[in-house]
Structure 1
Amino acid sequence: MATNKMKAPASDTKEIVDVPWAYRETVDRLSPGGRYIDMGTDVDSPWVPFGDGAAIKHLMFDVRTNTYSNILWMKGPGTIGTHLHRGTVTMVTLTGSVRYLEYDWVGTPGGLILEVPGEAHTLVTEHPEGCKLFGWMNGPIDFFDAEGVYADTVDVWWMITHYETYCKENGIPLNPKLYL
């Protein structure tokens, strides 16, 4: 019987290891570097209202790839309007529960939601305490009204403006760690 030999290499050191890397100078010069964003408090990013009964905590903006990350908080039972994805979305349900009207599953804490370009759907939560979703989005999302008429496009530029406008209006300094 074959055994799976795929294991992480063992390490017995708790020290920084000087790894040989031919491009270290280039990386040091051009990379924005790793960073930590505190999702649990408002230290790194405030909750910004997103329509009635919802808010967004912005976590990352990458204008090079039109990628953005945030936590969507639906504060109680409610709906995020019908939208069409032009890129991919990966979300994790953090609290509560959520579903799409167009599907038969319900996302619960720890569950992974994958969305692909070209799908339109309507996000809802019936949970009495709503839900929080961690999201990693790439590309634009087109929103439509109840009659299917185009309303707006949300992309990295929209998200940056959403965050910056709120911060400026409320005297909150912009956090450079959110920009890659």
Structure 2
Amino acid sequence: MATMTAPPSDKAEIVDIKYPFTDLVARTSPGGRYIDAPSDEESPWIPFGDNAAIKHIAFDVRQNLFSNILWVKSPGVIGTHFHRGTIMMVCLEGSVRYLEYDWVATPPGVILETPGESHTLVTDHPQGCKLFGWMQGPIDFFDGDGKFVETTDVFWFMNHYETYCRENGLPINEKLYL
């Protein structure tokens, strides 16, 4: 059996691949886009509690998917939360751990979370942490006594973003909506 190698990529130009549904895709797809995450112009840092902020990257209401960068600014906790969908995060800066596990994520480590699990996110790093995440489905948050506090989902995060923009006279970036 032959070993698989990478497909050839010998042309640095657009190649017409003759996809039979190109017109349908052009008519119905929002298309690819670039979000300048390092810039606060495309998406500002929005407070998420006293020691954290979120930079929203994408909202997809069709699949209840949302993407953001979570910044816990110094040692701290994002309280216990229960996932009803799949989460994938990349540690960009600092370090982070969950009380429920024995590992510590550091850059560029990947964190995978599955539906039906609860977690308590903690950073002990002096500069906190930044996590880039793709999240699907609702996330239920609980207080320190295990009492339900709130459910967040794509609509909650869209409201978080839009409310902040309106209250601060910032334009809503339509590129964030898939």
- What TM-score results when the alignment is normalised by the length of structure 1? 0.97
Give the aligned partner of residue 116 of structure 2: 118
Deviation digits for residues 98-127 of structure 1, max 9, x if unmatched? Answer: 000111000001001000011011000010
Give the aligned partner of residue 154 of structure 2: 156
- For residue 11 of structure 1, report the CA deviation from its aligned partner: 2.5
- For residue 34 of structure 1, report the CA deviation from its aligned partner: 0.3
Give the Cα–Cα distance (whole angstroms) in 2 for the partners of residues 61 and 3 of structure 1.
Answer: 42
Give the aligned partner of residue 127 of structure 1: 125
Give the Cα–Cα distance (whole angstroms) in 1 for the partners of residues 61 and 162 of structure 2.
Answer: 15
- Structure 1 outlier segments of 4+, above 2 Å: none
- Determine whether 1:98 maps to 2:104: no
Structure 2 unaligned spans of 5+: none
Aligned pairs (5 A) from 1:40-119:
40-119=38-117
Give the Cα–Cα distance (whole angstroms) in 2 for the partners of residues 98 and 15 of structure 1.
Answer: 41
Give the aligned partner of residue 169 of structure 2: 171
- Determine whether 1:14 maps to 2:20: no
Give the aligned partner of residue 139 of structure 2: 141
Give the Cα–Cα distance (whole angstroms) in 2 for the partners of residues 95 and 28 of structure 1.
Answer: 37
Deviation digits for residues 114-160 of structure 1, max 9, x if unmatched? Answer: 00011011000010000000000000000000110000001000000
Give the Cα–Cα distance (whole angstroms) in 2 for the partners of residues 38 and 8 of structure 1.
Answer: 29
- For residue 3 of structure 1, report the CA deviation from its aligned partner: 5.8
Give the Cα–Cα distance (whole angstroms) in 2 for the partners of residues 101 and 95 of structure 1.
Answer: 19
Report how many residues are paired.
Answer: 178
2:102 is paired with a residue of what secondary structure?
Answer: coil
Give the Cα–Cα distance (whole angstroms) in 2 for the partners of residues 175 and 9 of structure 1.
Answer: 36
Structure 1 unaligned spans of 5+: none
Q: 1:34 aligns with which of 32, 35, 41?
A: 32
Give the Cα–Cα distance (whole angstroms) in 1 for the partners of residues 59 and 163 of structure 2.
Answer: 15
- What TM-score results when the alignment is normalised by the length of structure 2? 0.98
Give the Cα–Cα distance (whole angstroms) in 1 for the partners of residues 7 and 65 of structure 2.
Answer: 32
